[in-house]
Amino acid sequence: MIIRASLVLLSVVVLAGCGGDPPAADAQSTPAPPDSGNTAPTAVRLNGPQLQQVHVEAVSASAPDDAIRTTGVVEFNADRMARILPPVSGQVHDLAIKVGDTVAKDAVLFVLSSREVAAAIADHRASHRDLELAEKTYAMTQDLFEHQAASRIAQQQAENELAKAKARMLQTEEVLQVLGFDGHPDEDAAPLQARVPVRTPIAGTVIERSVTNGQFVGPDNPPLATIADLSSVWVQADVFERDVHNIAAGQKANVTTTAYPDEHFIAQVAQVGSVVDAQTRTAKVRIQVANRDARLKPGMFAEVSLSLPETGSALSLPMKAVFVEGGRSFVYLQAKADSPEFVRRGIETTAMGSDRLRVVSGLSAGDRIVSEGVLLLRQLEADAPRP
């Protein structure tokens, strides 16, 4: 009887142990890991007032605005400029230009009176006389040699002297050409006027002049005048790094200015810069513009539209609808029409216009995305409890 009671009591103790609370370690649950992009995204539900703060629009296929728009500054075309330097030291005479004047190619801008040129003319005239004497001496010696009245050595010496005289005269002629003298130094009867005309190598407009009549100048002087052909100018534009790959030399462009807002100037890309500014993340693009009637003035601000190759219709969305997180681009997609629930969707885009992006993948025509109020949804999603 005692044994039977003991067995009953032991059974009750065992049953009580099996039905009790679990150990403390088993009561702690492991928190769910945050959404890494591979798990199902968390839906964000908005209430009535919050819905008033967001704007939803449908993604649609439309003809893209295939152009990159930027701004720039009008500059002189450096390939059509001439900076006039004095060829020799001398005094300026007959200055015939003022800033703003239009000059023709090879027009005389001013004349230099130069001692250096005077000395070169004197040397040339002396070499010319020496050549005449050498020619006469050679002719006479040659005649005597043919009549056996002069030796071969005398004949060869006369021939050598003639060759030296010819070489010296050619040398003095080249010196005068380098100095820019275009007179007639061979005419001994003409007065010795060492005046060098300074001409412009291009037709254009005088945009700078730093010389006056009577001024003494030399080759070390800065340019005395600058001539620019304003029929063509440059626009130096800044293009964002992300758009550089869409631009190449020869590409068409359209230029407008504040001064002529309704006038479009035909242009094309001349050069794409090889350096990106570390601060602005932009590269310089040089655009050559046909400047009819010289209406574009260097220093003007200009708006530039760079045409891109036609690609047909494409899905597009506002740039402000897209946010970047972890190196990926996302938008908020409405679950269904008039639904207060929104879910983030990963997408891929490329640049399209100044304020829109072209959709490469991740969305279809008709999808409804949040175009205003993205920051509110991001904050609500961050505050939402994880499952």
Same domain (yes/no): 272, 334: no
| C-beta of residue 87 within 8 angstroms of C-beta of residue 180 | yes
Q: Is the pTM of this model over 0.75?
A: no
Full pLDDT tens readout for the chain, 387 residues: 344 444 333 343 333 444 444 433 333 333 333 343 444 567 888 888 888 898 988 887 765 556 788 999 999 999 999 999 988 888 899 998 999 999 999 999 999 887 877 777 777 788 888 888 888 888 888 888 888 888 888 888 888 988 988 888 888 787 777 666 665 555 554 445 578 888 999 999 999 999 999 999 987 888 999 999 999 999 999 998 888 888 889 999 999 999 998 899 989 999 999 999 999 899 999 999 999 888 999 999 999 988 776 555 578 888 889 999 988 999 999 988 888 889 999 999 876 655 778 888 888 888 999 989 999 988 888 887 766
Q: Do both 58 and 73 map to the same domain?
A: no
Residue 233 has a CB neighbour count (10 Å cut-off) of 27
pLDDT at position 12 is 36
Position 143 in a domain = yes
Residue 182: predicted pLDDT: 62
Here the tokens at position 104 are 């023709």
pLDDT at 285: 94
Q: Using alpha carbons, select from 321, 322, 329 the residue that is nearest to residue 37.
A: 329
Do 269 and 300 fall into the same domain? yes
pLDDT of residue 193: 58
Residue 20 pLDDT: 43
Q: What is the pLDDT of residue 32?
A: 35
CA distances from 354 to 16, 70, 133 (A): 75, 8, 81
β-pairing verdict for 108-113 and 90-93? antiparallel
Is residue 297 in some structural domain? yes
259 and 300 co-located in one domain: yes
Domain enclosing residue 250, as ranges: 68-78+230-307
Q: Which of 98, 79, 105, 76 is nearest to 291 (CA)?
A: 76
Residues 155 and 186 placed together within one structural domain of the fold: yes
The rounded distance, in Å, linking the Cα atoms of 235 and 284 is: 10
CATH code assigned at 235: 2.40.30.170
Residue at 335 is within a domain? yes
Domain count, the chain: 3
239 found inside a domain? yes
The answer to the question of residue 28 being in a domain is: no
pLDDT value of residue 131? 87
Pick the last residue of a domain from 307, 327, 344.
307
Q: Per the domain annotation, does 6 fall within a domain?
A: no
| 342 and 283 part of one domain | no
Beta-strand (E) ranges in 174-300? 195-199, 204-209, 216-217, 225-228, 232-240, 252-257, 265-276, 282-290
pLDDT at site 312: 53
Which position has the token pair 């006369």?
A: 158
